[in-house]
Homo-oligomer: A and B are copies of this chain.
Amino acid sequence: MAKNFPTRAENFSQWYNELVIKADLAENSAVRGCMVIKPYGYAIWEKMQAVLDKMFKDTGHSNAYFPIFIPKSFFSKEASHVEGFAKECAVVTHYRLKNSPDGKGVVVDEDAKLEEELIIRPTSETIIWDTYKNWIQSYRDLPLLINQWANVVRWEMRTRLFLRTAEFLWQEGHTAHATKDEAFNETITILNLYADFAEKWMALPVVKGVKTESERFAGAIDTYAIEALMQDGKALQSGTSHFLGQNFAKAFDVKFLTKENQLEHVWATSWGVSTRLIGALIMAHSDDKGLVLPPKLAPIQVVIVPVFKNTDQLRLISEQVLPIKKSLEDRGISVKYDDRDTHKPGWKFAEYEFKGIPVRLTIGPRDIEQGTMEVARRDTLQKSVIQISDIIEYIPGLLDDIQQNLFERNLDFREKHTYRVDTWGEFVDVIENKGGFASAHWDGTSETEDQIKEKTKATVRVIPMDNPKEEGTCIFSGKPSSERVLFARAY
C-alpha cells in the first residue's frame, strides 16, 4: 500500500492531482476534460448533497428539473449575460447517427441537422426564466423558490479534477420575488447558508463578501461569494449567490400583477455550489500521508481493524467488535469492520490513513485480555488506549473534536496568512512569497484590478461583508480608497 506521491511542500499541485487519483476519488475519462467520479468521491458528494438539500428545503425551496439543452438564441436575450459569459460551450448540431457507408461504424447523419443549435447548459438562467414567464402572473405566484441538481458543461481548456472540468455536477437555485428587498434578502440568506455549510460541515472557514465588477456573474447586479484559503495560500471561491435584479425578468418578459394591480417585472436571484467543493475539502485538510476528511462528510467515520493470527483469535475479537459496531451505527455513525484475512493489518492501517477515515480502532488478542482498544485519530495521527467499556461514549465526542480541530487548524492557518499590507512591495511579497490573503486598499477601478492581476496573478477575491470603512490609498495607483479588500491568487 505504498503510495508514492509528492509532499505538499515539494509540489502542491502534483500532490493534489495524485492524491485525488490514488485515493480513488476521481479520474480523467476518455472524453477530454470530463471526469469519472469514483464511488469513494461520489459518496462525499452524496453526503454534501444530503445536507445542502435539507438546508434548501428547510428554507422553503423545492427541487425541479429543467432541460439540459438551451436554444442558442436564448443566450442573446440578456445583453450582459451573452457578453460576459464564457462562450466555451458544447454545441449540439445534429440529432441522428447512421451506419457508415463502409459498414465499419457510425457517422453523423447530415440530413438530421437541427434548425437551431442547442447548447448544453453552462448554467440555466435563460431556459428557467423562459419557463417562469408562464408560471408567474400574480403576486400570489411569488416567491418562487426553486433549486435544481444537475450536470452542466463549460468547455474549459485547462482542466483539473474537481476544480475545473468540462462537465461538473452542481445545484443551481433560481428564485423569483415581488420586491427588490425580498430578492436581496434571499441572496444573503443563501450566502449565509453556504457559509454555514462550509464552516460547520466542511470544517472550512470562509470569508463572505461581494465580488468586484470584473468577477461578477454575467447578468447579475451583484455577486456574493464565500472564499476559502487552501494550504498553498491560494484562495478558492466555494459558492456564489447572485442578486440579479430585474435583468432576466426584463430579458424574458416576466411580469406580475402586484397587490395594487400594477404590472411589474419580477426580481431574481441565482446561486450555486458544485463538485468543486470536493476539491476544496481535499486541499484544505489533507496532508502528506493522504486524505483528511472532516467526520461530518466522511463516507466512513470509523474503521475497526482486528489484529489476529488465526480464526479463533478473530472470532474472539469479532465477539467484542460486532456489538460495538452496532451501537455506534445506532448512533448514526458509519463504521467499517475490515476483518479480511487477505490483507495484513499494516496494509490496512496505511490504506485507511490514506483514505482519510477520521478514526481507526485497532484490537488484538492482548487488547481483549486487557479490555482495551487502540484509538488513532487521522487529523493529529495521535493514538491512545481506551477501555472497551468506554468506547461507545468516547467516539461521538472524538468525532466532534476532530471536526472542530480541522476547522480551527484551517482558521488559524488563514489568520496567519491574512496580511494587512500598505505598500506595493509588501503586497507583492505576500502574493509571491508568503501566500494568502492580502488585505489592501484599492482604488475601486477595473483598470487597476486588471493591472494588478497582470503583474501578480492576484485578484480581488471579495470585498468582505460589513467591511469597516477606512481612509487609505490604493497600493497600486496611490489613489484614494475608503476600504480594504481581500486580494489573493485563486483557483
A70 at the interface (CB under 8 A from B): yes
Confirm or deny: A206 has a beta carbon within 8 angstroms of a beta carbon on chain B.
no
A282 CB to nearest chain B CB (Å): 17
Determine which of B34, B96, B108 lies in contact with A93 in the assembled complex, contact meaning CB atoms within 8 Å. Answer: B108
Bound-state Cα–Cα, A106 to B122, Å: 15
Asked whether A485 is an interface residue with its Cβ less than 8 Å from the other chain, the reply is no
B-facing mask of A47-68, CB < 8 A → 1, else 0? 0000000000000001111111
Are B90 and A92 in touch, CB under 8 angstroms?
A: yes
Assess whether A153 is in contact with B105, with CB atoms less than 8 Å apart: no
User: Chain A: interface secondary structure?
Assistant: mixed
Question: Is B127 in contact with A106, judged by CB distance below 8 angstroms?
Answer: no
Structural contact, A106 and B29, CB atoms closer than 8 A: no
A96 contacts which of B27, B88, B108, B153 (Cβ < 8 Å)? B88
8 A Cβ contacts from A196-227 to B: none
B119 near A97 (CB under 8 angstroms)? yes
Q: Give A95's nearest chain B residue, CB to CB.
A: B155
Q: Are B87 and A97 in contact (CB under 8 A)?
A: yes
Please, which residues of chain B bring their CB within 8 A of the CB of A34? 67-69
A135 → B minimal CB distance (Å): 8
Most B Cβ at <10 Å: residue of A38, A82, A104: A38
**Alpha-carbon distance between A146 and B92 when the two chains are bound, in angstroms:** 29
Inter-subunit contact B70/A31 (CB<8 Å) = yes
Find out whether the CB atom of A64 lies under 8 angstroms from the CB atom of B82.
no
**Once the chains bind, are B62 and A39 in contact (CB under 8 Å)?**
yes
Contact A106/B82 with A29-B131, A68-B167 known, Cβ cut-off 8 Å? yes
* A131 CA / B24 CA spacing, docked (Å): 13
**Residue of B37, B63, B90 touching A39 (CB-CB under 8 A):** B63
Task: Name the one of B37, B72, B92 contacting A97, with C-beta atoms under 8 angstroms.
Answer: B72
**What's the Cα separation between A71 and B169 when bound, in Å?**
20
A155 touches B96 (CB 8 A): yes
Our pick among B39, B97, B146 for the contact of A89 (Cβ within 8 Å) is B97
- Tell me whether B97 and A90 are in contact (CB under 8 A): no
CA distance A46 to B99 in the complex (A): 38
A127 touches B30 (CB 8 A): yes
List the B side residues contacting A67 at CB < 8 Å: 29-31, 34-36, 167
> When the two chains form the complex, which single residue of B87, B96, B127, B153 contacts A98, counting CB atoms closer than 8 Å?
B87
- Min Cβ gap A401→B in Å is 29
Residues of the B chain whose Cβ atoms lie less than 8 Å from the Cβ of A76:
104-106
Closest to A145 in B: B39
Residues of B within 8 A of A68 (CB): 34, 68, 120, 151, 153, 167
Known interface pairs A36-B66, A37-B64; A95-B90 also in contact (CB < 8 Å):
yes
Q: A19 vs B167: C-alpha distance in the bound complex, in angstroms?
A: 35
A18 at the interface (CB under 8 A from B): no
B42 touches A69 (CB 8 A): no
Q: Nearest chain B CB to A192's CB is how many angstroms away?
A: 23
Q: Report if A127-B29 is in contact (Cβ < 8 Å); known contacts: A91-B95, A95-B88, A95-B90.
A: yes
User: CB-CB < 8 A to A119: which residues of B?
Assistant: 97
Alpha-carbon separation in the docked complex, A151 to B37 (Å): 16
CB proximity of A112 to chain B, nearest CB, Å? 8
Q: How far is the CA of A120 from the CA of B75 in the complex (A)?
A: 21
Q: Which A111-140 residues sit within 8 Å CB-CB of chain B? A: 117-120, 127, 130-131, 134, 140
Interface centre among A76, A88, A106 (most CB of B within 10 A): A106
Give the residues in chain B near A95, CB-CB below 8 Å.
Answer: 88-91, 155
Bound-state CA distance A74–B31 (Å) is 11
Complex CA–CA separation, A73 to B63 (angstroms): 36
- A134 / chain B contacts, CB cutoff of 8 Å: 27
Shortest distance from the beta carbon of A150 to any chain B beta carbon, whole Å: 8
Known: A31-B127, A43-B62. 9 other contacts (CB 8 A): A29-B131, A31-B118, A36-B66, A68-B151, A68-B153, A75-B97, A75-B105, A76-B105, A91-B108
Residue pairs across A and B with Cβ atoms less than 8 A apart, 8 shown, are A31-B69, A34-B68, A65-B169, A69-B167, A73-B105, A75-B105, A82-B105, A87-B96
For the complex of A and B, 9 pairs with smallest distance between CB atoms: A76-B105, A34-B67, A39-B62, A37-B65, A91-B94, A87-B97, A95-B155, A31-B69, A93-B93
